[in-house]
Structures are given as C-alpha cells and as structure tokens.
Structure 1
C-alpha cells in the first residue's frame, strides 16, 4: 500500500494500514512530517508552524497517539475547559472545576454560576443554549450560520462577544457570520455535551511533528514499512499489465521504487495536490472548489523570567485599533527551553496578511502590555510571524465535502477536508486517515 502525504491524515492512514497487516510506503515531499501541523525552527527553538490545542473529545487522535507510544500525560498540559481573559480586560473568567468527581454536565453548570464577568442574563442565556441544544440532540433541521443560531437562541451580545464568537473562530477558523452552525454544534456535542474529560483542553508540550507524525514513522518502520522524505509523487497510474495494481511517478526515482506496484493508494495531500493526482490517475472524481482561511501565529521572545499568570488566555481583539491577538499562550508553561516565549494566535476573519510583520509584532506586543498591565511586554527580544495562508477550508453552512472513496477501486482520499462531523482540525485529519485505511482491508 502507498500513502502520499506525511501530514496527520497520511500518518494516521499509514499506522492503521500497518496495524491491518499491510506493508506501507509513506511518501512526503518535504523533509518534515506533520503537514499543516508541523514543527519549525525559529532562532534555535523548535516550535510549531501554528499554535494548536487538542480537546479531550479528540478520541481517535488521542487513541492513535497512544498506540504509537506517545505518553499523553507527559506530552500535553491538560487544563479544564476555560475561557479566561486577562484581569485588566473587560472580559470573563469561566473555568470548569478540576475535580474528576463532578460529572458532566454538572461541572459546566458549576463553572457557569461561579464565572466572573458575566451578568445574570448572560448566564441564563448560556444555560438556555446548552439545555436546548441537548434537547435537540445537537442537530439542526437545516444548517445555518453560527450568528443566526445564536440569534435564534437569544444569546446576549456580551456572551457572543466573549465566548461564542471566540469559540467559533478557534474551532472552525471561520467567522460566525459565515460558519456552519451544525459543525459548531458537532464540536460542542462531543466536548460540552459528553463526559467531563471530553471538555478538557490539551496544549501540546512536544512540537507537533514529535507529538504524533515522527513517532508514527518510527512505528510503521518497526513493522517493516517504508518512509520516504523529500520524495514528491508527481503522478499515479494503474499498472499497464497488472489489473488492480497501481504505480507511482516519483520526483526522485529510487532503484527500489522503479518497478514497485501497490494494491492500493491513499492520497493524503492537501486538496489542490489531490486534484492533480486524481487527474493523473484519469479519475473522474471531482473535488469541490473550497475557499480557505489563514491562521497567523506571532511568536514573541522575552527574558526567561517574563511569565504570564497562566498558560493560556483569550484576548479582546479589536482590529480597527490594531489589537489583532485573539489568544495568547505562555510556552514557558509547556517547555523549560521556551521560558519567556509567548505565542499569539490570529485567526479568521481579521488576519492582517497585508501588513508588515514588524508592525504586526509591535502592535501585538503593545496589546499584551496593555492587557496584562506589564510594560516589559512592549519590548520583545525578537519576534517571528508565521502565516499559513491556506490553514483550513472555510467551514460554511451545508458545505459539500468529498468522501474517502473515488471512482476507482483502490484509490482513496484522506484529509481534514473530506466528509465528516468536524471542521479542519487534527481530529478530522486523523479520522479521515483511519477511515480511508479501513476501506483497504
């Protein structure tokens, strides 16, 4: 079997195929595994191309990470569900109790009534939303935008601004006025609407390549499968004289691959490369013309003794005032070598792509200094801005997404863009990879 693409979907597919007893060849065009959730080096520090969090609800991701030998308790900082703004901002503090003895959904009700920064009307609106969504089974008769859903549920302006809208952007990377309410409800169902641990937030302490993809490669190679880094697949075709077998055209033809053929192929690249490979296979499968959203992560490095009161905060963004930061992570809580390193996330819709990096970094540093009342945050030692321009597809209402299958037997697709309950997330990618592999039993 061949898997094209060493992102999270491709690595999950390769692991699942290996578990099923297949010999796998995994091809990745770059030298780093992880795809759009990978490690990068910045000023001698191994960080990520974008700051991510996982949820306890990401069952298939967490399971497959454990299967390849990742110790989740040592690899992620586990926090109870929370939405905390700096105390000097006009925000809120919502923290679920840590005790595992308080079952769901009682732990969320306790967090709601103990929350700060919300008026009685806000709390009643949130309770009404949760109870009604449960009664509906987290299902809509017809999809609509998240903004329309919140309006139907009579959510207050303050609650939308401080909680629902930031959650929507964090989960779907699509602004609420364009985001799918049904997909948003799916995420809430599996986190807020499930067991207590499902709502926990897991912040990776390893870089994203080490968190799963690199260990997945070790796992498949230990079972006799093969990894090829820096090897782009330029085309796929059915074997001329062996029906049901497939061949690959490679950018760097290796002797061992020159006459190789495969019983099945999983295309686990991004959507644009998948289209190219489908065309080379003479497939009539048509992939949608997705729109995409960017995500920017601004790394700011300070002296090692500079520390925020907690590991993660939401921020009151105001793009018109050059306050672009939406979430900030103090990576000193994650890794000792990252003391003094802050990661600020800017998601859709206000990604300042056209603005000079120095200006963005300066504005974000000023925003942090004001939010935390720490003047030292105005002057970072250095900064690095990383933008993934096509980080996720726009998760709009009633969006048609392709299945894993194509019109040709033995040729499958995997990626977070394929059909599923979730938006473009690590969990969506892993689920898709596993699903595609199971179709090649």
Structure 2
C-alpha cells in the first residue's frame, strides 16, 4: 500500500455499501459512492405510490441487530423516532400467541414458550426441551450439512409449522428442507441467548430509504465524501498501485453490488475468475410483498401478525407503523406456488386470506405486488460464502452474501460493509 492516503470507491449504494462508506468517512478516508439506481438502499429501499412512501419489501429489525443500531446512531438517526420497539410477540390469530415477559434472557423465552397460547402442553415442553438442548450444544449444529428440517426432526409437526418454520423463513428466506441449521442457530443465539432486549421487534415507522440510506448519504457528504446516484460504473481497471473506476483513480474499490452483478464489473480482471466462479454457484430466493389499501378504519390488533394456511406469512399494519391508515403489507418469503400466479390473482388470494384472519373486508381500493426475484441468496446448509478479500489486493467485496454468521438481513449487510471498511482502515494504520 505504501504511504499514499486511502481514496476509496464504493460501488453500490445499498445498506452494505453505505455502511462501508460511513465507516470510512468517519475515519477521515476520502470516499465516493457510486449507485446506478436513481435512489439509495438497494434491495431495502423506499419508493412512492399513490402519494405514499412504500418499501420494495417489508423488513423488520431485531434488538440483536447491534451494528445496525450503532450505525443509525452514528449518522444521527434517532431509533425511537424511526423504529417502534416491542417485546417479542408472535401471534397467528386462532393458532398461536407467544409473547415474552420482561425477564432476563433466556428465562424470558422459556416463560414465553411455557405459557404460549394455542400450543398443547406436550408442544410447549417439546419447544422448551429443544431450546435447552440448543444451549447445551452451544448453538452448534451437529454437522455443517445439517438443514433446519434435520434440526427440527424431533419437534411436533404442528409446532414446526406454527413457530420454527415461520422463524426460519423470516430470518433465512430459505425453505427449511435446505436452509442452513447453523445460520439459523446463529440467529437464535444472537436473539435469545444474550440479552432480553435482543429479541425485541423493531418495526420501521418510516420507509426504508428514510430509515438509514438518506441519512447515511447526508453524513458521508458532510464529512467530505461523495454520493453519486444514477451513476452506473462501466469499467474497473486495476494494477498494483491503483484502481480506476471509469478512468477515475482510487487507491481501493469496495464492490457492494448484488453478487449476480459482480461479473459485469470484475470479469475483465483474470485473477477474479475463481471468485466469480464461486459467486456463480450461488442460488437465490425471492420475497413477495403484497400491499392492499383498505378503508382507513381497517387495522390489525397488533402491528405484525402471522398468517398460516395460505400464501401469506406475515401481515403488517402500515397505519399503526407509518400512519398510512388502512394499508396492510403481506410478506411471502422464499419460493412457492404463489410465484406462478399473475399479480392480480395473487392480490385476490391474499385478500381472501386476510378475510379469514380478520373477518369480512371490502375489496381493497388498490393493491401493489412487488416480487424481488433475487431478494436474498439461498442460505443453504454448508455453503461456502465469498470472502471480503479478493485475489486483487485493492478490491474488496461487501454484501450480505459474503462470509459471516448472519443470513441475508439488514444486519448481515451492515456487518459486511463495516468489516470491509475496518480491513482497509487497519491496513492503512499498519
């Protein structure tokens, strides 16, 4: 590296790229963010529809998302203004109600399981024994190849359907038959094995762009960095002393784009072939979000409810969360038969499911179906995720798909971006 100061290009203005850029800017590093889209946030961003700010996918955070919360504070975002923090409550009306009391972890989870409404005593004890067994095993899967379905083989089928499978789909966005047991256990450990507040639900009160990306961009600019939107990068040319991004020189580049976009940026560099071969082996899973606008008086009894027996898995009350009265957002994680339906038919099916859940509803005034076909990487058992460090010493990669303990979540993306920035800063200091 020599004594030359760092001048870093971050390609990609999603949560991972912005996390890296914020860390670099706070360390006094010259940083420029290139985002091809007209707005920031990547696969977790806001957009406008009928005068409302919606999201391209309904996300939640957990109290365990410590690096994300730290980053929000770093860019001046008030958690209490943008997030509604609630003790863990998983409710599927007519089937399950699990809520945790304000006890130290993991007693709060044990108490919640033992008094869970809708479960038989046999199912409650099975869940409790399962969690105790996980703690004794240090939240380690028996083998790297163990799937979540393998892990849950001894659990009652109804308990799996109502509790463990919805949690797995929400966290890993991968069907339990192929999902990594170890990554699922990492999430359970971080959420339930440390502090009680780690299992809190943090539900956004604002659109996802306003939650972090816009504040991050303002913070980067205030510290002398640049954030360029609608700025598609065409070429990267690298040698031992510098990297050129469309002819502009930088000391280093962090590629924080979706993995399927990496070949467009790096295929001209022969040393990147092994990395690109590894990335090409990744599979992906979709997430569908169905927005339905009902009359203003339509509301849920709790801001987030579980759904079962149909396509919908979770429904969110945007009126309670974002003051968008009567607007419900239904999330469908991972692959499934819903993807074969036209959007109009899917919206009709979800409307029917909501009537089963809530009682008679008038037809929605409008609907919006958003399907992110490559919303996340498929978090399968024993997968090998790419390292942040690439074969070229001046190019790093960031994203929720890179090496780490977390699945493709906002926290996973933030952790990856922060790690890339930390690696560059530590190299500069050495």
- Give TM-score scaled by structure 1 length: 0.92
Instruction: Name the structure 1 match of 2:149.
Output: 147
SS in 2 for 1:307: coil
Note the 1:307-322 alignment, pairs <5 A: 307-317=299-309
Tell whether the 8 Å contact from 1:122 to 1:156 is kept in structure 2 after alignment: yes
Of 8, 20, 36 in structure 1, the residue corresponding to residue 27 of structure 2 is 20
SS in 2 for 1:24: strand
Note the 1:244-259 alignment, pairs <5 A: 244-249=241-246
Instruction: Name the structure 2 match of 1:279.
Output: 267
Q: CA deviation at 1:372?
A: 1.6
Q: CA deviation at 1:282?
A: 3.5
Q: CA deviation at 1:351?
A: 5.4
Of 374, 380, 386 in structure 2, the residue corresponding to residue 402 of structure 1 is 386
CA offset digits 1:361-390 (Å, max 9, x no partner): 1111111111122x12x5111111000000
SS in 1 for 2:295: coil
The answer as to 2:244 corresponding to 1:229 is no
Tell whether the 8 Å contact from 2:114 to 2:128 is kept in structure 1 after alignment: no
The answer as to 2:416 corresponding to 1:432 is yes
Once residues 335 and 160 of structure 2 are traced to their aligned partners in structure 1, the CA distance between those partners, rounded to angstroms, is: 16
CA offset digits 1:52-88 (Å, max 9, x no partner): 01011111111101100111111111111121012xx
Instruction: Name the structure 1 match of 2:132.
Output: 131
Once residues 337 and 415 of structure 2 are traced to their aligned partners in structure 1, the CA distance between those partners, rounded to angstroms, is: 28
SS in 2 for 1:234: coil
Instruction: Name the structure 1 match of 2:173.
Output: 173
Of 88, 94, 99 in structure 1, the residue corresponding to residue 98 of structure 2 is 94
Q: CA deviation at 1:238?
A: 2.0
Of 67, 74, 80 in structure 1, the residue corresponding to residue 81 of structure 2 is 74
Tell whether the 8 Å contact from 2:298 to 2:325 is kept in structure 1 after alignment: yes
Q: CA deviation at 1:245?
A: 1.1
Tell whether the 8 Å contact from 1:294 to 1:351 is kept in structure 2 after alignment: no
Instruction: Name the structure 1 match of 2:114.
Output: 113
Once residues 425 and 435 of structure 1 are traced to their aligned partners in structure 2, the CA distance between those partners, rounded to angstroms, is: 15
Note the 1:24-39 alignment, pairs <5 A: 24-39=31-46
Once residues 80 and 56 of structure 1 are traced to their aligned partners in structure 2, the CA distance between those partners, rounded to angstroms, is: 9
Once residues 209 and 351 of structure 1 are traced to their aligned partners in structure 2, the CA distance between those partners, rounded to angstroms, is: 30
SS in 1 for 2:340: coil
Instruction: Name the structure 2 match of 1:196.
Output: 196
Note the 1:373-384 alignment, pairs <5 A: 373=359, 375-376=360-361, 378-384=362-368
Q: Which moved more, 1:295-304 or 1:353-362?
A: 353-362
Tell whether the 8 Å contact from 1:39 to 1:208 is kept in structure 2 after alignment: yes
Instruction: Name the structure 1 match of 2:3.
Output: none
Instruction: Name the structure 1 match of 2:358.
Output: 372
Instruction: Name the structure 1 match of 2:293.
Output: 301
Tell whether the 8 Å contact from 1:416 to 1:432 is kept in structure 2 after alignment: yes
Once residues 75 and 138 of structure 1 are traced to their aligned partners in structure 2, the CA distance between those partners, rounded to angstroms, is: 32
The answer as to 2:338 corresponding to 1:352 is yes
Once residues 226 and 148 of structure 1 are traced to their aligned partners in structure 2, the CA distance between those partners, rounded to angstroms, is: 48
Once residues 48 and 387 of structure 2 are traced to their aligned partners in structure 1, the CA distance between those partners, rounded to angstroms, is: 35
Q: Which runs of 5+ in 2 are unaligned?
A: 1-7, 426-430
- Give TM-score scaled by structure 2 length: 0.94
Q: CA deviation at 1:277?
A: 1.5
Q: CA deviation at 1:114?
A: 2.0
- Greater than 6 Å deviation, 4+ residue runs: none
Q: Which runs of 5+ in 1 are unaligned?
A: 250-257, 318-322
Once residues 281 and 122 of structure 1 are traced to their aligned partners in structure 2, the CA distance between those partners, rounded to angstroms, is: 55
> Structure 1 residues 351 and 244, CA, compared in 2 at 3 Å: closer, same or farther?
farther
Once residues 258 and 123 of structure 2 are traced to their aligned partners in structure 1, the CA distance between those partners, rounded to angstroms, is: 41
Once residues 280 and 23 of structure 1 are traced to their aligned partners in structure 2, the CA distance between those partners, rounded to angstroms, is: 26
Tell whether the 8 Å contact from 2:104 to 2:195 is kept in structure 1 after alignment: yes
SS in 1 for 2:328: strand
